[in-house]
Structure 1
């Protein structure tokens, strides 16, 4: 397929879920044996890469998959309260009207994403949703999307808010836009050399209008 494709991360890119996720993490702190997360700690972590965060975590590696499952389950109870970041709806409308195929690849669970989209009248904007349980397995999901939909890698861009999103896009040999309104700071995102680094959702429309990324259908 030669259609232009934009693939979005979910948490921290589309959904403003950070405060909710921090609340859930603190709720589970005693059970999983880690300290409650403070605002200073969030700022510190935002300046670390995804892999550095895991390496410095006081949680034993074998417990992390169990914690992630619990977080996603708890998030299901809060998902309908979450809002998209300011400017996301308008940007998605614009991109859709330009003929882009829009998708979501996330480590969250599909039901959470669907509930969020329905609650915010965004369910008709996306052509596919793929989820996976692995923290660092998004490249495998992206490759699955490429194969299943017979996409061309030079017609795809991935959009995410964490260093692991940049890493996944590069492993998948597609371009990547890093956004600074999510979890990771602009400083650490820039160090991982995304194709573009943006600070507001509206900049996505500007990027693709300038034809700086050659993903238009010939």
Structure 2
């Protein structure tokens, strides 16, 4: 199972690239979170497979580009008339930018951005395991187990092994420097980790 790493200015978040991973939510973080720095995908041996940082691109490392449309307004000149409200009238030129490219119209820019982001989505999907042909044909659903978290919310677990590994990784994570909510988050994942281990032990008996 591949792991996605979302790196922020002061910490990083690790997520499993399984059927529950939502690519659109990742794109929102990449495009709109002010603390976001980069996204990476690594394999089980911590080998880098994909990155949004161009400096990390190599023979076996894919480059991920996610873009959005930006409106750029250039003031070409200003006319002043004291009898008008407002008195200043600006002559402007509007261009639509996607990454470093300039488009003539907003529609053209949106279509261009959609094509790039569609390719980015397909690139990420390559690292997310799909159902087997048998599962697709007969619509076989994985065994669902349930566990209650520290907040009293019931969680569904379809891959116990990966859930245990994720909880194990998260239970000791903290910000650098630490923040007041670190202890609360660690307690949450530690509690969930212990409950998942009990669930595993129960299934073995």
TM bin (shorter chain):
under 0.3
Q: Which has the higher strand share?
A: 2
The TM-score, its normalising length taken from structure 1, stands at 0.24
The TM-score, its normalising length taken from structure 2, stands at 0.25
Larger radius of gyration: 2
